[in-house]
Chain A
Amino acid sequence: MSDWFERRVARSLQANVPLSGDERARRGVMDRVRLAAAEGHPVRRRRADPWRRSRNSILGLSLAAGIGGITTLSVVAPDARPAASALSSVVIGDTVVATLRDTLRLVRLMFDAPDARRVAVAGDFNRWNSNATPLTRENGSREWSVTLALRDGKHRYAFVVDGTRWVPDPRAERSAPGEAGRIYSLLNVSRATN
């Protein structure tokens, strides 16, 4: 069955409808997606992935213990302050180390808030959880800091002061409006920025 009637039906159904090019409608989709992301979506499927577990544990080990090794992890920081000198990865084998180096980069965030009782960072990397990633500071210091292991790409984040006040990073080069009137800072992590 492929006569003129069928061809015309097909051509008509393949033609776009007015909604197809509606930018407002597309933005509406992304608005809802961002809200869902802030709620913790998408949820990663739990599946046996020993390689992923291995990488994570390796990273945790190297961050926690700073075991002497053969490769220094890459670092990019908004304030251009290198932190790599204090961190090195464990001796595992060239393949693992190379993959680790290409997959995750260490980013040190710093925030000047002498009067704050606690400071955390929330971003798309921790599903906007304002309790998941606290910053710490030395006794007597006015500066809070944290080191994150991030994948290449653009990340949005903000500091959360005393659990309630969302503050963009004053050292960030770029920012963008977010939900609920918040301003998020933008961080572009890539090999080229190291």
Chain B
Amino acid sequence: MTDRIIIQRVLDGDVEAFSGLVDRHYARCARIAVRIVGNREDAEEAIQDAFLRAFKALGDYEDRERFSAWLTRILVNQCRTVLARTKRRDALFAELDPRWLEFSVAADLDEGTWPELEDVLERLPADQREAIVLKYADDLTYEEMSRITGAGESALKMRIQRAFARLRAMLQEVPSV
């Protein structure tokens, strides 16, 4: 069943049909939110709020845009809200010791996940982290990313480029063979 059919069912009063959208998109939203906000608890809250906002606004959804991209736009906004709140919260605590960022890359290319990357993502500026997560975790085009973030495509490309430069530096990359 397509997203469009599920949405129509929900708008026709079948609330439970919305679980089809949750099941289909939750894992993707989790990949995005955890990387953007940096921890599971805040990510779960952002995702719940995003789905709830999407449900309430479903009557405004226009199917000329992919539902996944529409939902991602809502999710990114919720993540930004969470980040703004946690930034205020974290400001109450002492600054982190930058030495904890001194990682060495365990260059196991067969691994699907890269724990050190998850850690250093948090140290990227929020706009660069958001851009690289949307680009690679959600496989969005620059045009879609532009609609979601409100930034221009060239600005997004620059953010990705700068994000990679920082990641390489932080992960102490050895030049590729």
Residues of A within 8 A of B (CB): 1, 3-6, 8-22, 25-26, 28-30, 32-34, 36-37, 41-45, 124-125, 150-151, 153-156
Residue B83 at the A interface, CB < 8 A?
no
Determine the distance from Cα of A124 to Cα of B112 in the docked complex, in whole angstroms.
Answer: 43
Within the complex, which residue of A13, A17, A32, A125 is in contact with B52, where a contact is CB–CB below 8 Å?
A32
Within the complex, which residue of A9, A32, A36, A124 is in contact with B13, where a contact is CB–CB below 8 Å?
A124
Determine the distance from Cα of A150 to Cα of B59 in the docked complex, in whole angstroms.
Answer: 19
Given A15-B112, A20-B27, answer yes or no on A44-B11 (Cβ-Cβ < 8 Å): yes
Mind listing 21 A-B residue pairs with CB under 8 Å? A5-B168, A5-B173, A9-B136, A9-B164, A10-B136, A13-B133, A14-B31, A16-B31, A17-B34, A19-B33, A19-B43, A20-B30, A25-B30, A28-B48, A29-B26, A41-B56, A42-B57, A124-B15, A153-B13, A154-B16, A155-B14
Interface of B is mostly: helix
Determine the distance from Cα of A69 to Cα of B34 in the docked complex, in whole angstroms.
Answer: 59
Determine the distance from Cα of A19 to Cα of B59 in the docked complex, in whole angstroms.
Answer: 28
Determine the distance from Cα of A18 to Cα of B11 in the docked complex, in whole angstroms.
Answer: 31
Given A17-B30, A17-B31, A153-B9, answer yes or no on A9-B167 (Cβ-Cβ < 8 Å): yes
With A29-B22, A34-B15 given, name 14 new contacts (CB 8 A): A1-B161, A9-B136, A13-B137, A16-B31, A17-B43, A32-B48, A32-B52, A33-B15, A36-B52, A37-B55, A43-B59, A153-B12, A153-B13, A154-B14
Pick from A8, A15, A16, A29 the residue with the most CB of B within 10 Å. A29
CB <8 Å contact, B44 and A19: yes
CB <8 Å contact, A25 and B26: yes
Determine the distance from Cα of A10 to Cα of B168 in the docked complex, in whole angstroms.
Answer: 14
**Which residues of A lie under 8 Å from residue B114 when comparing CB positions?**
8-9, 12
CB <8 Å contact, A6 and B164: yes
> What residue in chain A is nearest B48 (Cβ atoms)?
A29
* Per-residue interface assignment for chain B, residues 26 to 68, with 1 indicating a CB less than 8 Å from any chain A CB and 0 otherwise: 1100110111000010011001100110011111100000000
Given A36-B56, A42-B57, A42-B58, answer yes or no on A16-B15 (Cβ-Cβ < 8 Å): no
CB distance from A67 to the nearest CB of B (A): 26
A-B CB proximity, top 9 nearest: A20-B27, A12-B114, A42-B58, A13-B137, A45-B59, A20-B30, A13-B136, A19-B30, A37-B15
> What residue in chain A is nearest B115 (Cβ atoms)?
A12
Determine the distance from Cα of A15 to Cα of B113 in the docked complex, in whole angstroms.
Answer: 6
**Which residues of B lie under 8 Å from residue A4 when comparing CB positions?**
109, 176
The count of residues in chain B whose C-beta lies closer than 8 Å to any C-beta of chain A is 51
Given A25-B47, A29-B48, A42-B10, answer yes or no on A5-B60 (Cβ-Cβ < 8 Å): no
CB <8 Å contact, A125 and B30: no
**Which residues of B lie under 8 Å from residue A125 when comparing CB positions?**
13
Determine the distance from Cα of A10 to Cα of B167 in the docked complex, in whole angstroms.
Answer: 12
**Which residues of B lie under 8 Å from residue A5 when comparing CB positions?**
164, 167-168, 173, 176
> What residue in chain A is nearest B173 (Cβ atoms)?
A5
Residue B18 at the A interface, CB < 8 A?
yes
Given A5-B168, A8-B109, A19-B34, answer yes or no on A42-B55 (Cβ-Cβ < 8 Å): yes
> What residue in chain B is nearest A103 (Cβ atoms)?
B12
**Which residues of A lie under 8 Å from residue B173 when comparing CB positions?**
5
CB distance from A155 to the nearest CB of B (A): 7
**Which residues of A lie under 8 Å from residue B109 when comparing CB positions?**
4, 8
> What residue in chain B is nearest A40 (Cβ atoms)?
B56
